[in-house]
Amino acid sequence: MNRFILLITCTALPFFSFSQNTTVYKCVIKGVPTFSQTPCSKDAEQITLKEINIIEAYKSPTQANNVTDSSVDNFLEVQQIEREISKLQLTLKQTEKTYQEQVKQASYVTQDQANRLGASSIADAIAKKTAPITSAYESKVTRTQQQIDALRQRKQLLSQIP
């Protein structure tokens, strides 16, 4: 009978944990923090985590749960704004290249084409062909620049918030 009780105790013991704390080791490998259950280097920092009673944790909300860390959110939003500004500036550069190519293409006008456009000279025909291109380019640049300015203002506001 004693052997039977001892056998049951030994087989069931691994399934029960009496420890209240869990130990984790933090190591920095090539500048990257790594966490492990075993020491991963000589300078491993031992971190003890207390076991949390989940029922008690959700039963009474603490003030720590109500506090939001807006500084991290602001930092992430500033980073997103910087990426959007970079994209818009790249769009401006591409728009300028496209505009220059279109103007260059429009400058290849023969006298016959000028006559069909109803222009008195080749220069007048070139001016007529480039006018809508220039108008579209300027409106697109203005719109993109306004978007960039709005993003910069938003970034400045977020940078001022602590």
Tens digits of residue pLDDT in 106-140: 888 888 777 888 888 888 888 888 999 999 999 99
pLDDT of residue 65: 47
CA-nearest of 29, 50, 31 to 39 is 29
- Ramachandran assignment for 118, one of left (phi > 0), alpha (psi -120 to 50 degrees), beta (any other): left
Phi, psi (rounded to 5 degrees) for 118: 80, 25
Look at residue 13 and tell me if it is in a domain. Answer: no
For the residues 76-95, what does the mean pLDDT come to?
Answer: 92
pLDDT value at residue 60? 60
**Which residues are registered as beta bridge partners of 47?**
24
Residue 124 belongs to some domain of the structure: yes
Say if 33 falls within a structural domain: yes
Contact residues for 109 (Cβ-Cβ < 8 A; gap 6+): 117, 122, 125, 126, 129
| 92 and 141 co-located in one domain | yes
| Separation between Cα atoms, residue 92 and residue 99, nearest integer Å | 10
Task: Copy the structure tokens of residue 154.
Answer: 């938003």
Tell me how far apart the alpha carbons of residues 100 and 103 are, in angstroms, rounded to a whole number. 5
* In-domain check, residue 80: yes
On whether both 105 and 42 belong to a single domain, the answer is no
Q: Give the pLDDT band of residue 46 (cuts 50, 70, 90).
A: confident
pTM over 0.85: no
> Is 59 domain-assigned?
no
In a domain, 6, yes or no: no
Residue 23 belongs to a domain: yes
Pairing of strands 32-36, 21-29: antiparallel
Kindly state whether residues 89 and 153 are assigned to the same domain. yes
Coil/strand/helix, residue 131: helix
Instruction: Give residue 136's domain range.
Output: 71-160
151 lies in the same domain as 75: yes
pLDDT of residue 66: 46
Q: Do 116 and 42 share a structural domain?
A: no
- pLDDT score of 14: 58
Question: Do 74 and 156 meet the contact criterion of CB atoms below 8 Å apart?
Answer: no
